[in-house]
Structure 1
Amino acid sequence: MTQIKLLRRFLIISSKTKGLVIGAPASGCGKTTISVGLTRALRRNGAGIGVIKVGPDFIDPAFLSVASGTKCQNIDNWAMRNSLISYIFKKTTSNKDFVLIEGVMGLFDGAPNGKGSTADIASILGLPVLLVIDCKGMGASIAAVVKGFSSFRNDISISGVILNRVNSLKHEKILRKSLKTLDIQILGAIPQDNQINLPSRYLGLIQAHEHKDLEERVERIADLVETYSDLESIKKIASNISIDKYSNFHPPPIPPIGQRISIAYDEAYSFIYHSIIEKWHQAGAEISFFSPLNGESINANADAIYLPGGYPELYVGKIIANKRFLRDLKVASTKSNITIYGECGGYLTLGKFIVDKDGNSHEMAGIFPIEASFYEKKLHLGYREAVICKNNPLGKKGTVYRGHEFHYANLKVPKGLKPLFTISDSLSKTLGDSGSMIGNVMGSFIHLMDIKSHK
């Protein structure tokens, strides 16, 4: 065996990368805040940190990216094949000292059929769980909560807890006394501090870039976590990761929609799964970005345009002021050698009008004869299975994707407009047609995550 092979083998066997999953009994317990603080605290103590978010979420990953200084990836075992999860996990783990995975909702919550939970991910990856508990209004009952969560599934290990939003030293003593009856490590007791709360909007937290004091806020959260938790013990409960057992290869979750893809990316169009873009690039596609909000438009050499989701309804003034962008979209839609694909907010940009929450109508690109309204909001939420209705750049007719839908828009669609997908929910209930397709212009509300099956 050559020296190089021996070295490679040694590096794999002696990998010191450790991993940990952050879970909670429910949404709103402070998982993101604790994950952000713990990530930054570990980073400034010299560790190279990789971060992952469980579930279909675009907002929490932005905070974790800032805290870690690396791109946060998403994994989801309802919407993604295990091979894609394996690839993303290995890529995130590579050359890192520590990988932190923030869970979604409650530890055992996922799709209605039970799949897709944080516990599933912890089990698949063989990582321990650090449980974050919102202790506000709770005393001795905390022991029942922790005991129940610890014993609910025997394929995962809850190796420690962080007591969050502790009201006082007396409150902390009550909590600690109750937990003495259990064999569980208390690895932190974080006091209630309204200054570090991350505010929300209707789709979740306010986006990271909207916090003008973001770096200062992340540092404050890290200070609090580092002061009131035991970082060394947290590192000790994390598991060693055997990098070599995970896949090095996975085909693009979505095939590249062109050879030269121009992607809108700014505050209005930021809902992107980085694994998809990275895989397009690895497949040989040339990727370029532009910001409609900064007056930029499509790359003149592009043979494909991708408009991701986001909050275009909050920035319609700037979007319609960029007349070149909307004009270039319209012109590109008439060319048979250019593909245009819009998801959610990107899809609405391809329509005729967006009606904002105050009832004001704003003219968009006018490629699809659809009108979207946020004046009378209606929640559309859930995992989606999407079947392609007609051969197009996303795949052949009958190709099945998995993804999710999450928006408050009401859509007017005229009769006769060809749909892009037929969709069903995670319980296989048929929901009908979704999206629109005219020539090589495609769009829908569905955020695609991975192919389920090819045709």
Structure 2
Amino acid sequence: MVSSVPALVIAAPASGSGKTTVATGLIGALRAAGHRVAPFKVGPDFIDPGYHALAAGRPGRNLDAVLIPEELIGPLYRHGSRDADIAVVEGVMGLFDGRIDEHAVTPARGSSARVAELLAAPVLLVVDARGQSQSIGAVLHGFSTFHTGVHIAGVILNRVGSARHEQVLRQACEAVGVPVLGAIPRHDELSVPSRHLGLVTAVEHGDQAHSAVAAMTELVARHVDLAALVGLAASRVAAPSWSPEDAVGEPVGGAPVVAMAAGRAFSFGYAEHPELLRAAGAQVVAFDPLTERLPDGATALVLPGGFPEEHLAELSANTELRAQIAELAQRAPVQAECGGLAYLMDELDGHPMCAVLGGSARFTQRLTLGYREAVAVSDSALYTAGERVVGHEFHRTTVEFTEELDSAWAFRSGVGSPVRDGAVRAGVHASYLHTHPAGQPRSVARFVAHAASLTKLGR
């Protein structure tokens, strides 16, 4: 094995135990102590990495062993941790929770435990101590012995009620050989508001997000033994670092301009996406659809997911941009995922949008969530018909088309029903399915090649 940047995986017995508070605060506290911290999140989540990025001062990245092949986890970790001296990897759900399918394995595919195993990194278990005392010993014993390939290096006690409560908890942990590396008292919930898809994104929350991250940092710095945690960090990844240049191959000429929507309404993107676009030969220019027009010379457009339904008035009021996008979509490649799909419709909840795709989008109370194994239905600027991908759905909106359009994807829903998702027309590929570009680098290269062909034609 080749030594890599040492890591700590922050996991928990279940969701709601305080992983995000501890992981974000630990990233901030380590940075304040002079460390260069590389932040990661297990799974497809777009929101937590935004808070990680604020704490670390560098992009938060995802390690999702479902959206990308397992053999890429180590290389992507190496890539994302370059120039760092320690990494903090926040887990997902409970430690051993992952994808449920007919090929059940332990640890489950995509679980925090499996990623820890792939990185050969120790796990720090965050346990919500409310409502228990000596029983925590049984919890830790079970998690420590459940799978020999996963090493529980210590526990951080969260929401401890009193000094006496802490003493009893510590004795129970020591009795089963799991060191206590921190005890965080009960506290008012930190002011990071949530909405229908989880926490409000860091970019939307502005100054309050910075204040929340500062509060998490102070909380962890005061109650957690940072020196002991640093001493426990470790990782052994034999594979070389992932390279966007190697992933996409020879770059195209012409340096086409790819406009990438960003800002408060469209913040659901993976850090590797712009890196792959640039490696394929594109100039990537970010812009905010709430206030800005298309970048000059744009010959392609990426509309990632986000929360356009929370910013309807501002999006609709930017009539110049909506007209520009409608015109560009007639001749150039456009990739739209989830919120980007809703933005391309005629209207969203009664507010005029870009009118690229005929029909309407509506916010609903029903959450659609889960991984999907999908096949491309039509040739497009990104895929050829028949190509297979693994993607992820995460939305409460729904769309209804009023014109005949080729579907982007076919897959089965979480209950097994056949689904046709999204639309393909001209250069537009729009759907609810989120994919990880590092898992589909050929689609990125194909997209940039389409944009380059327009550049050469002078369009």
The two structures have a TM-score, normalised by structure 1, of 0.89
User: 2: CA distance between counterparts of 1:226 and 1:184?
Assistant: 21
User: 1: CA distance between counterparts of 2:59 and 2:125?
Assistant: 24
**1:139 alignment partner, SS class:** coil
Q: Who is 1:115 aligned against?
A: 109
User: 2: CA distance between counterparts of 1:453 and 1:99?
Assistant: 25
Q: Who is 2:447 aligned against?
A: none
Q: How does 1:346-361 map to 2 (within 5 A)?
A: 346-355=340-349, 361=350
**1:419 alignment partner, SS class:** coil
Q: Who is 1:313 aligned against?
A: 309
User: 2: CA distance between counterparts of 1:402 and 1:131?
Assistant: 29
Shift, 1:260, TM fit: 2.1
Report if aligned partners of 1:20, 1:238 keep a CA contact under 8 Å in 2: yes
User: 2: CA distance between counterparts of 1:143 and 1:410?
Assistant: 46
Report if aligned partners of 2:5, 2:86 keep a CA contact under 8 Å in 1: yes
Q: Who is 2:22 aligned against?
A: 34
Shift, 1:195, TM fit: 5.0
Q: Is 2:124 aligned against 1:130?
A: yes
Report if aligned partners of 1:90, 1:246 keep a CA contact under 8 Å in 2: yes
Q: Who is 1:66 aligned against?
A: 54
Q: Who is 1:358 aligned against?
A: none
Q: Is 2:227 aligned against 1:232?
A: yes
Specify the code of the residue in structure 1 equivalent to 2:354.
A
Report if aligned partners of 2:5, 2:78 keep a CA contact under 8 Å in 1: no
Q: Who is 1:345 aligned against?
A: 339
User: 2: CA distance between counterparts of 1:305 and 1:331?
Assistant: 12
Unaligned runs of 5+ in 2: 102-107, 444-459
Q: Is 2:282 aligned against 1:279?
A: no
Report if aligned partners of 1:385, 1:426 keep a CA contact under 8 Å in 2: no
When residues 16 and 186 of structure 1 are mapped into structure 2, their CA distance, relative to the original with a 3 A threshold, is same
Q: Who is 1:330 aligned against?
A: 326
When residues 175 and 195 of structure 1 are mapped into structure 2, their CA distance, relative to the original with a 3 A threshold, is same
User: 1: CA distance between counterparts of 2:306 and 2:441?
Assistant: 27
User: 1: CA distance between counterparts of 2:129 and 2:346?
Assistant: 48
Q: Is 2:152 aligned against 1:158?
A: yes
Percent of aligned pairs sharing the same letter = 34
CA-atom RMSD in angstroms: 2.4
Q: Who is 1:79 aligned against?
A: 67
User: 2: CA distance between counterparts of 1:436 and 1:343?
Assistant: 11
User: 2: CA distance between counterparts of 1:202 and 1:252?
Assistant: 36
Q: How does 1:187-226 map to 2 (within 5 A)?
A: 187-196=181-190, 198-209=192-203, 210-226=205-221
Specify the code of the residue in structure 2 equivalent to 1:163.
L
Specify the code of the residue in structure 2 equivalent to 1:308.
P
Specify the code of the residue in structure 1 equivalent to 2:428.
V
Shift, 1:234, TM fit: 0.7
User: 2: CA distance between counterparts of 1:98 and 1:244?
Assistant: 18
Report if aligned partners of 2:342, 2:399 keep a CA contact under 8 Å in 1: no
Q: Which deviations, in whole Å up to 9, do the C-alpha atoms of 1:354-381 show, x marking residues without a partner?
A: 11xxxxx11111111221111x421111
Q: Who is 2:88 aligned against?
A: 100
When residues 301 and 454 of structure 1 are mapped into structure 2, their CA distance, relative to the original with a 3 A threshold, is closer
2:37 to 39, 49, 73: 49
Q: State the number of aligned residues.
A: 431
**1:448 alignment partner, SS class:** coil
**2:158 alignment partner, SS class:** strand
Q: Which deviations, in whole Å up to 9, do the C-alpha atoms of 1:237-261 show, x marking residues without a partner?
A: 11154576544465159x99x9321
Q: Which deviations, in whole Å up to 9, do the C-alpha atoms of 1:36-68 show, x marking residues without a partner?
A: 111111111111111111101111000000000
Specify the code of the residue in structure 2 equivalent to 1:135.
A
2:299 to 292, 300, 303: 303
User: 2: CA distance between counterparts of 1:185 and 1:204?
Assistant: 32
Shift, 1:454, TM fit: 7.8
Report if aligned partners of 1:399, 1:453 keep a CA contact under 8 Å in 2: no
Q: Who is 2:365 aligned against?
A: 377
When residues 31 and 44 of structure 1 are mapped into structure 2, their CA distance, relative to the original with a 3 A threshold, is same
User: 1: CA distance between counterparts of 2:206 and 2:314?
Assistant: 19
The two structures have a TM-score, normalised by structure 2, of 0.88
Shift, 1:278, TM fit: 0.8
Q: Is 2:354 aligned against 1:365?
A: yes
Specify the code of the residue in structure 1 equivalent to 2:152.
I
Report if aligned partners of 2:192, 2:212 keep a CA contact under 8 Å in 1: no
Q: Is 2:279 aligned against 1:269?
A: no
When residues 118 and 317 of structure 1 are mapped into structure 2, their CA distance, relative to the original with a 3 A threshold, is same
1:167 to 158, 161, 164: 161
Specify the code of the residue in structure 1 equivalent to 2:72.
L
**1:327 alignment partner, SS class:** helix
User: 1: CA distance between counterparts of 2:310 and 2:26?
Assistant: 32
Unaligned runs of 5+ in 1: 1-11, 356-360
User: 2: CA distance between counterparts of 1:453 and 1:241?
Assistant: 26
Report if aligned partners of 2:191, 2:208 keep a CA contact under 8 Å in 1: no
Greater shift after overlay, 361-370 or 41-50?
A: 361-370
Q: Is 2:438 aligned against 1:441?
A: no
User: 2: CA distance between counterparts of 1:321 and 1:219?
Assistant: 35
**1:369 alignment partner, SS class:** strand
Report if aligned partners of 2:134, 2:169 keep a CA contact under 8 Å in 1: yes
Specify the code of the residue in structure 2 equivalent to 1:99.
A
Report if aligned partners of 2:79, 2:242 keep a CA contact under 8 Å in 1: no
User: 2: CA distance between counterparts of 1:16 and 1:397?
Assistant: 39
Shift, 1:407, TM fit: 0.7
Shift, 1:142, TM fit: 0.9
2:419 to 432, 436, 453: 432
User: 2: CA distance between counterparts of 1:269 and 1:321?
Assistant: 16
Shift, 1:395, TM fit: 1.8
Shift, 1:131, TM fit: 0.5
